[in-house]
Structure 1
């Protein structure tokens, strides 16, 4: 619309070491598809500064990115059957895909491990939940959400038995609580109160844990219209975007403590 021949995007991060952060983009209904690239904050600031001084800036783009045909993928699903109400399901998960520039340690391998550890810890404690706990490692969160969409579609006739769906996709940092949302606002209000009581049991060991109404997670969002209660883990993620979608998102950035 503006006559551009390319688009440069300043990386979404507060801290940078000359490292561009990647991400998804869509052309929508655009008739002309122009190249688009993320650049480091340093380069973005340099270009902006030169333009403010009235200088003409020329940029040479050498890009190899391309949109490939769709390929088959799959969610990874495992569950611990409930003892009393096995048909009622608690879903917990993270997304198994990541961007190619890094390892995806925080986004979202850590979230997948958190979900799997729920079942691992329960088994070590010889505890069988009353409801089935289903771990879902979603595919294609980063550029299509097709794993979450496919799950909601394939299990449409079971949504009424899904008690809650929980997602961890904010990095592996100190937990601070949960955000919660539901189409049924009365249930939402009741659940917030119940979760605040539960979180109060943990606040002394890990710091204050809060519960609030708000966004939950991308992968579980397709279940919202079916009335499923959704919860997203919240963390002290002030450094998340230092690593997010960049070559720096590697395992050494995940602190075991």
Structure 2
């Protein structure tokens, strides 16, 4: 593998006593340490200069983010917001002179959130911070009051079944109560070593005991909500803490008749402590979500038609859908508005590309890359003649890592394309060539499986995994627009250079090393999308 680091480190200062010798050595070191092209003042190609100027002086990113995240909101597959997002995007593209279309690939359970209220009414009154999980059933707009109870410690599945009638008309807490709401980094900054060790031991002990509690019921954690609702529970309460202040992972409901609600860490803790200490807390829940039946799932596709090779493609890739805890800002509003801004700029400064530039806003990525997998299977003619795919889907940070996705010659063509971009953007990017094919974490993997050079624009974290990824905190205020502008310039330059490349690049795949079992690893295969679904 070839690892390239564009970091430039300053030389140490020299003492006057051996100045001439050190200057000579210093010059030699500099010459060996850095390629000649990095020592010279960079002259950008005219198109790249225009890309940089347009991205910096006329950026539309903040307005796009506002319209998508504040006005449209989260884009859960099967919801009206997903269709609203499509209509919005088509209208924006039309205003830029870019054709965009709707491509249906399947169907999903339709759902509309509606209003929700969650209040503790005994032993005191408190409005609780919480939300319905995606596709949660409704209370029909009625306020349903009930006692809150915890799961019991049972000896075995027989004892659990004997206990089940106790849930009738009650809300059941099904998540482990957390011993602390402070993330580990906060403990490590202020805690004494013995306090940190004590906390971690307590958490590990509670986790082991909780896993044993669930195991003793004889059912899996995923099956538990359905069993409890069948036994007559009024609703299911969970809290999936993301190990960051105020952050919970928000996914989908596993119930079909009673509401499933995620409660913030501390409000969940209040209910749990009250129930465990015999205070019999009561809550009142009112939800007005709507089951919309079966609705279409779709991709939104835009194109800037090529002139010399219109049946060859460069694809800008980002999934359109999101979970519903926040507004889907960093997963994947950032990727969406980045690719839209790239398309806008290219249409303005490079209106007649050699190859067709296709922008894929994929649907139902969160349920298994369904939109991009469907596109690969439904458009073999496009896929076969795709030059490269540039995908972004992991937060708001500037691109920090590029992996060659296992293509043996990625170092050659990606290296040349990256060299055309401004050095202040590429200098800190770590590259790994030829790298390894993606296993399915984002949409580029759908194209890699088809043998197409597809690359993940991997971004700096900005706390992505704990703060915003699939959480209630994935919102507009977390966006870093300076980093997004850098990404727009980089990706627009790569798309321009990929379009101008004389021929389709070499797609030869590397021989993968043995896996942990010692057996040869195999290149990923094309997988079927889920073209029908009901939820989680």
Under a length normalisation based on structure 1, what TM-score does the superposition of the two structures give?
0.74
78-87 or 120-129, which moves further after superposition? 120-129
User: Residue 16 of structure 1 aligns to a residue in which SS?
Assistant: coil
Deviations 1:66-111, CA, capped at 9 Å, x for gaps: 9986521211111111122111111112111111121111111110
In structure 2, relative to structure 1, the CA distance for the partners of 1:252 and 1:8 (3 Å cut) is closer
Q: CA deviation at 1:138?
A: 0.5
1:193-215 superposed Cα distances (whole Å, 9 cap, x missing partner):
33234334547313412322243
State the match for 1:251 in structure 2.
476
Compared CA separation, residues 180 and 66, structure 1 to 2 (3 A): farther
* Alignment equivalent of 1:16, drawn from 240, 245, 256: 245
Please state whether the residue corresponding to 1:72 is helix, strand or coil: strand
Residue aligning to 2:415: 196
Q: Secondary structure at the match of 1:15?
A: coil
1:66-145 correspondence to structure 2 within 5 Å: 70-145=294-369
User: Aligned equivalents of 2:291 and 2:450: distance in 1?
Assistant: 32
Kindly state the Cα deviation for residue 145 of structure 1 after the two structures are TM-superposed: 2.6
Q: Tell me, what secondary structure is at the counterpart of 2:295?
A: coil
Q: 2:240·2:250 contact (CA, 8 Å) conserved in 1?
A: no
Q: Find the counterpart in structure 2 of residue 208 from structure 1.
A: 428
Q: Deviations over 1:127-149 (max 9, x none)?
A: 53211110010111112432112
Equivalent residue of 1:102, what SS? coil
What per-residue deviation string (whole Å, max 9, x for no partner) do you get for residues 217-254 of structure 1?
Answer: 52232333321111110111142121121221111211
CA RMSD of aligned residues (A): 3.7
Task: Quickly say closer, same or farther: Cα 1:146–1:107, change in 2 above 3 A.
Answer: same
Q: Structure 1 residues 24, 180: closer, same or farther in 2, change over 3 A?
A: farther
Is the deviation greater in 132-141 or in 159-168?
159-168
CA distance in 2, matches of 1:234, 1:169: 8
What is the match of residue 174 of structure 1? 398
**Residue 153 of structure 1 is aligned with which of 377, 393, 398?**
377
Question: What's the CA shift for 1:157?
Answer: 3.5
Deviation at 1:23, TM superposition (A): 3.3
Q: Deviations over 1:154-205 (max 9, x none)?
A: 1024321112222110112122242232xxx5xx121133323433454731
CA gap 1:96/1:202 in 2 versus in 1, 3 angstroms: same
Q: Can you give the 5+ residue segments of structure 2 that lack an aligned partner in the other structure?
A: 1-213, 226-236, 483-536
Structure 2 CA distance for aligned equivalents of residues 89 and 179 of structure 1: 21
Classify the secondary structure of the residue corresponding to 1:226.
coil
State how far apart, in whole Å, the 1-side matches of 2:291 and 2:457 are: 32
Aligned equivalents of 2:400, 2:421: Cα separation in 1: 10
Q: Aligned to 1:87, what secondary structure does the other structure show?
A: strand
Q: Is contact 1:196–1:211 with CA below 8 Å preserved after alignment?
A: no
Over 3 Å counting, the alpha-carbon distance change for 1:229 and 1:40 in structure 2 is farther
Are the structure 2 counterparts of residues 255 and 20 from structure 1 closer, same or farther at C-alpha, using a change threshold of 3 Å?
Answer: same
